[in-house]
Amino acid sequence: MILGLNVKGRIWKIDQDDDDSSGGAMITGTVAHEMVSLRIQQQPEEQLLVQQGAEILKSFTALCAPVTLDIDERYELEIHTPPNYYLADKRLRIINHRPADFVPADGRNYVLLTLTRSHRAHGNLYQ
């Protein structure tokens, strides 16, 4: 594991399959990349929206290596190692990716991902 990148995950390519018999959308996916090294940080929420109980969009920033990964928007990131990580087995949607300014052969190269996860403030998780 690269120093500072303390999480491993897999990146899923999300596709839309043919509709089912009742006309509903069928979302499918395949694993695009396995064992990707990451460091994830949650961005602070807007306090006024939290106080009002509105649905807030949790956003995260992830540092990801290596830079040669083929990642697009609408892909999803699933954390699987370590198993006791607070985002383990949860999926985050990639909404933006920015590669670093280094050449691909440079060891300091990384990709910066912007991720989202929808969360309802003051909601009951067991309903």
pLDDT digits (tens, 9 = 90+) for 53-103: 766 778 899 988 777 777 888 888 899 988 899 888 888 889 988 877 777
Q: What is the mean pLDDT of residues 33-45?
A: 87
Q: Does 24 have pLDDT greater than 70?
A: no
Distance separating alpha carbons of residues 35 and 39, to the nearest angstrom: 13
Confidence band, pLDDT 50/70/90 cuts, at residue 1: low
Q: Where does the pLDDT of residue 118 fall: very low under 50, low under 70, confident under 90, or very high at 90 and above?
A: low
Q: How far from each other are the two terminal CA atoms of the chain, in whole angstroms?
A: 38
**Cβ pair 49, 56 in contact under 8 A:** yes
Cis peptide bond upstream of 82, omega within 30: yes
pLDDT band at 123 (very low <50, low <70, confident <90, very high): very low
